């Protein structure tokens, strides 16, 4: 394989063990950073997932799914450690916990990445529980800061989970300080700032880096994109939702791919691409990105307003 990818998403790849019925469990490859990487690849951006997975059946499933999507596999490491699992014991509403003491993801070695890769990357993505699990979190935040100093653009999706308590606050501050793009949801804001006041939490978040554009997603209500003192709001087309799993990851990938492939376009066009991608993901089970044809159709149905 010649050359290196222009986009790398760093963090965790895991397996969701989902309880469907009393005695039936289904395993599904997942993890927000991994999802973003593979959706970017599906959107024709040369991409990689930077992380570590196990050498067992769960790791094999993640490896095969990564290869099938066309990710650059040189960024995936496989230490002889146990898998990271998300046990989803209830789905309506979702209730889950993680099993991953000394699991493979924690042993990701930044120094073992292929030589010269950081000279080619244009955007690097970080977020979710990888930034709340030490010692991995320290390595990734340090990597993000180094890449930022080199001129690489950084996207940050906190993707709040219950493990992000007060000890996560310094990570939030460090990542916000270097972010060139941030994605948050209402649930993220409530969890990160431990409040029910969404507006106050959003103001606190933006105050950490007023220059960073923020994609603020609100589920079926749509999304807004804040850049400087301007804001664009998007209303998604009406659809019959099959599954919302991975919709946020697809919306972030839709925005990033638009920024990378069409930098000449305005924020309204980038937001349209983001909402179309997130909407399309809801039409299929799992974090399945829409086809180019469907993406174009949905984009034409997204309503955008400014101010």
Higher pLDDT, 218 or 68: 68
Return the bridge partners of 99, or none.
Answer: 85
The string of pLDDT tens digits covering residues 151-162 is 999 999 999 998
130: Cβ contacts below 8 Å, ≥ 6 apart:
10, 11, 12, 33, 51, 105, 136, 137, 140
Contact present, 223 and 216 (Cβ < 8 Å): yes
d(CA 34, CA 11): 7
Mean pLDDT over all residues of the chain?
93
**DSSP assignment letter at 215:** E
- State the pLDDT confidence band at 2, using cuts at 50, 70 and 90: low
The string of pLDDT tens digits covering residues 49-63 is 999 999 999 999 999
Q: What is the pLDDT of residue 45?
A: 96
- pTM value? 0.94
Q: What is the pLDDT of residue 48?
A: 98
Mean pLDDT value across residues 94-107: 92
- Four-way CATH pick for 1-111: 3.60.9.10, 3.20.20.120, 1.10.150.130, 3.40.1190.20: 3.40.1190.20
Exposure string for 152-178, b = 16+ CB within 10 A, e = fewer: bbbbbbbbbbeebeeebeebbebbbeb
Tell me phi and psi for residue 229, to 5 degrees.
-100, 15
Mean pLDDT value across residues 201-214: 97
Q: What is the pLDDT of residue 157?
A: 97
Mean pLDDT value across residues 159-185: 96
- Number of residues written out for the chain: 307
Least confident among 97-101, 178-182, 218-222, 235-239? 218-222
Contact present, 212 and 248 (Cβ < 8 Å): no
d(CA 215, CA 197): 18
- State the pLDDT confidence band at 198, using cuts at 50, 70 and 90: very high
146: Cβ contacts below 8 Å, ≥ 6 apart:
none
The string of pLDDT tens digits covering residues 13-47 is 999 998 887 789 989 899 999 999 999 999 999 99
Q: What is the pLDDT of residue 172?
A: 98
194: Cβ contacts below 8 Å, ≥ 6 apart:
none
120: Cβ contacts below 8 Å, ≥ 6 apart:
3, 4, 5, 6
The string of pLDDT tens digits covering residues 91-100 is 777 788 899 9
Q: What is the pLDDT of residue 92?
A: 73
Return the bridge partners of 8, or none.
Answer: 48, 124
Angle (deg, nearest 10), helices 136-149 and 169-178: 20
């Amino acid at each position: 394989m010649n050359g290196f990818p222009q986009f790398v998403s760093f963090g965790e790849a895991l397996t969701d063990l989902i309880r469907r019925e009393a005695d039936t469990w289904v395993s599904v490859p997942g993890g927000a950073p991994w999802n973003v990487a593979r959706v970017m690849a599906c959107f024709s951006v040369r991409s990689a997932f930077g992380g570590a997975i196990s050498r067992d059946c769960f790791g094999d499933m993640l490896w095969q799914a990564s290869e099938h999507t066309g990710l650059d596999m040189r960024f995936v490491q496989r230490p002889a450690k146990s898998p990271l699992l998300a046990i989803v014991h209830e789905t309506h509403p979702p209730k889950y916990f993680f099993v991953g003491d000394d699991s493979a993801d924690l042993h990701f070695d930044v120094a073992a990445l292929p030589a010269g890769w950081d000279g080619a990357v244009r955007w690097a993505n970080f977020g979710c529980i990888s930034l709340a699990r030490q010692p991995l979190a320290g390595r990734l935040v340090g990597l993000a800061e180094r890449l930022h100093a080199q001129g690489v653009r950084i996207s940050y999706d906190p993707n709040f989970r219950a493990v992000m308590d007060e000890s996560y606050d310094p990570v939030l501050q460090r990542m916000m300080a270097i972010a060139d793009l941030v994605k948050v949801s209402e649930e993220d804001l409530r969890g990160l700032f431990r409040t029910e006041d969404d507006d106050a939490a959003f103001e606190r978040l933006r105050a950490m880096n007023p220059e960073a554009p923020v994609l603020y997603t609100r589920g079926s209500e749509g999304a807004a994109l804040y850049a400087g003192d301007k804001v664009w709001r998007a209303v998604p087309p009406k659809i019959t939702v099959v599954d919302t799993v991975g919709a946020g990851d697809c919306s972030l990938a839709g925005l990033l791919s638009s920024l990378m492939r069409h930098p000449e376009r305005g924020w309204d066009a980038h937001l349209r691409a983001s909402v179309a991608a997130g909407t399309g993901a809801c039409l299929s089970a799992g974090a399945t990105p829409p086809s180019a044809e469907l993406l174009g159709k949905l984009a034409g149905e997204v309503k955008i307003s400014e101010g």
